[in-house]
Amino acid sequence: QVLVVESGGDLVQPGGSLTLSCTVSGLAFGDYMMAWFRQAPGKEREGVACIDSTGSGEILYHYLVRGRFTISRDNAKKTLYLQMNSLKSEDTATYYCAAAKESFYVPSLLAKDFGYWGQGTQVTVSS
């Protein structure tokens, strides 16, 4: 059974920083492309950032977070990270970690390409 667990969500002031973590068990983590998605109330889930299986290859970012967010992974620890800087109120959402449907998928920000999801962690940006 695959288990995806996010952590690190919190209330943070505008301009602040936060790091999310995601641990994965039950699959060969180092073989899977991973991503962060987010969903705000009343909005569709959107891909935020994606990283290839090695962590040193292709990385994709949503244009709204490019330059402010950094995705990374530690395959030895089976952990995915999202470093978020210069946070804005519009970044408020539930953030989800996701693993690709199959191993060695090319990076993607489309939800249809992901088969394993966590329960989400809440990020609120407010003064």
Q: Backbone phi, then psi, for 89, in 5-degree steps?
A: -60, -35
pLDDT value, residue 98: 98
Q: Does the structure show a pLDDT above 90 at 103?
A: no
How far is 54 from 74, CA to CA, in rounded Å? 9
**Mean pLDDT calculated for residue range 63-88:** 97
Q: Does the structure show a pLDDT above 90 at 35?
A: yes
**Mean pLDDT calculated for residue range 97-126:** 94
pLDDT value, residue 56: 83
Closest CA to 3 of 96, 114, 117: 117
Q: Does the structure show a pLDDT above 90 at 54?
A: no
How far is 7 from 25, CA to CA, in rounded Å? 15
Q: Backbone phi, then psi, for 65, in 5-degree steps?
A: -115, -5
Confidence class of residue 116 from pLDDT cuts 50, 70 and 90?
very high
pLDDT value, residue 104: 78
